[in-house]
Amino acid sequence: MKLDTLKNLQFFSPRLTIKINHLTKDDTRRVKNLLNNKLGAASLVIAIGLSILSVAVFLILQLESGWKQIEVYGLSSFIADVGCFVMSITTIVLRMIAFRNKNEKTALLLSRLSIDFLYVAIAILMFCSFYADAEKGFLSKSPTISVGIIVIAFLLIVQPVFSLDAYILNISNIAVMIFLAIYTKIQFKIESFIYYILIVVSFVLMSRLVVSILFYAEVQKYIQESISNSLLNTAMYDELTHCKNRYALKKFLEDKVPTWRAEKTRLLIIMFDIDNFKEYNDYFSHQVGDGCLTDIARAVRRVFPSPGLEFYRYGGEEFLLFFELEDGQDAKLILEQLRLSTTELDIKVPPVSSFDYLTISVGGYLLTTDSEFDFDAALNEADANLYKAKANGKNICYLNNNKIPRTM
């Protein structure tokens, strides 16, 4: 079969959609979660409408029958209204709890359950309502077959709750339903039941089609977002060190500077530079130098493992960091920890070097931002402190024009 044909078929098959687009298990899980979130939100609206509908039908039938719905319209009619109402209310409750729950996994589980209960509510309403039309004539002629049909039809209707792709189950159940339709027509001459069978089968096929279409659409959207994120990462991150780049810094400052001005943040700006890096590069080769940059960036992340660390490669071997400090946090300690992160790597240096191992010089500027905060001026201060560290022996830290004593 040609690839184009397969791509057309994937529109109707979630499993084929996964295969054609080479989705991993994690990708598939994320897509299903996204789909469940959207369907969960839709289930709330539908459930509210179903609950109102079931109450309205229940009251109308009770009034028309003189509060004798079961006697006049049959037990199935009563079960359709009450069952649909109970399942709809359950859907609403689950969805509201999911909406308020802060745990992502629990919220997704509740969202999925709300969809399942809504599906069962629709199944009960449809199945029992149609069955009520044939109840008296059908039950009286063959109670055993009637019970079998109830079980098979209901399993067929609620099957999508348990599986995304179950074509064998669908086909086998539909085949059984068609067989029963033919059997009841020949054996019991019940014409209305044939139309009921067609409704059930149509419902199943349409539900599978809708799920497949939604899944296909969500997969395509997920793939496009993944491509966009990949391009964004390429544009925002330095490929070698995986630090953010100057473009990312520009975007970051556009968002943060107004906040810093408004919130009077205790802000620490740090610039550090690898000492004698050109000498190191020339002696060992640029490939080794690249590995050195990567190792130092990785070491900094180990010391400051926060996922929100603002860490930028500002130039060739020059890096920039930001810290929003809480009261009591020691800025001097942060600078010294940063310096030690490189010395502890024990990276060997050329024999002519004045140090035994590769080091960095660190310049920091600590301030409390206000409405007049100027980032460029603050960055110049941090850069000036870095220059002092380089000019006064290297492998040291300067903070606000003051040298920080080495701890090692």
pLDDT in tens, 161-176: 555 455 565 666 667 6
- Contact between 166 and 117 under an 8 Å Cβ cutoff? The reply is no
**Tokens (6 digits) for 170:** 């669908």
Partner residues linked to 272 by β-bridges: 319, 362
Contact (CB, 8 A) for 363 and 305: no
Under the banding of pLDDT at 50, 70 and 90, the label for residue 306 is: confident
pLDDT of residue 133: 57
How does residue 1 score in pLDDT terms, banded at 50, 70 and 90? very low
pLDDT score for 156:
61
Domain 246-404 bears CATH identifier 3.30.70.270: yes
Lowest mean pLDDT among 138-147, 200-209, 301-310: 138-147
Res 138 pLDDT > 60 = no
Q: Which pLDDT tens digit goes with each residue over 71-84?
A: 777 777 788 888 88
- pLDDT tops 60 at residue 400: yes
CA 153 to chain centre: 35
The whole-number pLDDT of residue 70 equals 80
**Domain segments of the chain: what residues?**
3-230, 246-404
pLDDT of 328 over the 80 cut: no
Per-residue pLDDT tens for 227-243? Answer: 777 777 777 888 888 89
Q: How many CB atoms lie within 10 A of CB 84?
A: 27
- When the pLDDT of each residue in the chain is averaged and rounded to a whole number, the result is 79
**Vertex 321, ends 318 and 322: CA angle to 5°?**
155
pLDDT at 406: 83
Q: Given a cut of 50, is residue 37 above it in pLDDT?
A: yes
